[in-house]
Structure 1
């Protein structure tokens, strides 16, 4: 059965936070300091997700049999601020489908935008390369969060 890709609805934030925690624990936590872990967990707190959706971020989710199994969040229709798929559903094309929906939203809202950016966690760089992103500078760290800036031409 194929997951349905749909726009975020109020009430989705708890499930999105849970899937983000699952992805974080599997492949990101090991790269972050205590400060970075705290900053990330604050970012994915359900109330923070809901607040961002009310204030300019856009999110699409992948839903399978009523369960949210993936999510992508765009900031300012030019930056991927979050992209997670539950570990058991990774490598099935869901991230690509979510990213395709995000790009469709971006092109409709801001057709002048020609680059999509992301700050990839060290463990996610290869996944983003596979999705079409290229490195855009050296590794950086802010508030204990390590990342590689990447970009994709639209």
Structure 2
């Protein structure tokens, strides 16, 4: 990657690019951890209209944009839970997820000064990355609605 992507807040119209990144990540590394039901639930969650609708509610998204294309995203729910963190497979291991997380945490701390922790339900393949960012498991790995995940938290 020659240039660093710009990290910015979600804008109306970003939902299609965000959905494409999430879908690419699902196909690349997450599908084996989902049942058929889990795959349907995930698809419903990342549907562009669902993404756009959440941005006017309790969710907030930042996107990583390179040459006009969304290549990564992070979505926070109520400033305290990471509901999505994805980087296009071809741009992984370049520090983009770290930059997205840093930006979202900075915003969450400013918007909610008493914030004590951030939580996430990590997919099995992402547990190591979250550990590297300082997250710890807050409960054993489990499965719900066809999705395997590990509850984790970061103390701020």
Gap regions ≥5 residues in structure 2: none
Instruction: Could you list the structure 1 runs, at least 4 aligned residues long, displaced by more than 2 angstroms after superposition.
Output: none
- Aligned equivalent of 1:119: 121
What is the CA–CA distance in structure 1 between the aligned matches of 2:22 and 2:134, rounded to whole Å?
A: 22
What CA distance in whole angstroms lies between the structure 2 residues aligned with 1:40 and 1:132? 26
* Structure 1 vs Structure 2 CA RMSD: 0.7
Q: CA deviation at 1:102?
A: 0.5
Cα displacement string for residues 91-123 of structure 1 (whole angstroms, at most 9, x for unaligned residues) = 111000000010011011111111000000111
TM-score in terms of structure 1 length: 0.98
TM-aligned CA deviation for residue 135 of structure 1 = 0.9
The number of residues matched between the two structures is 154
Whole-Å separation in 2 of the counterparts to 1:9 and 1:112: 27
Which stretches in structure 1 are left out of the alignment for 5+ residues? Answer: none
Question: Scaled by the length of structure 2, what TM-score is found?
Answer: 0.97
Aligned to 1:12: 14
1:99 to 98, 101, 112: 101
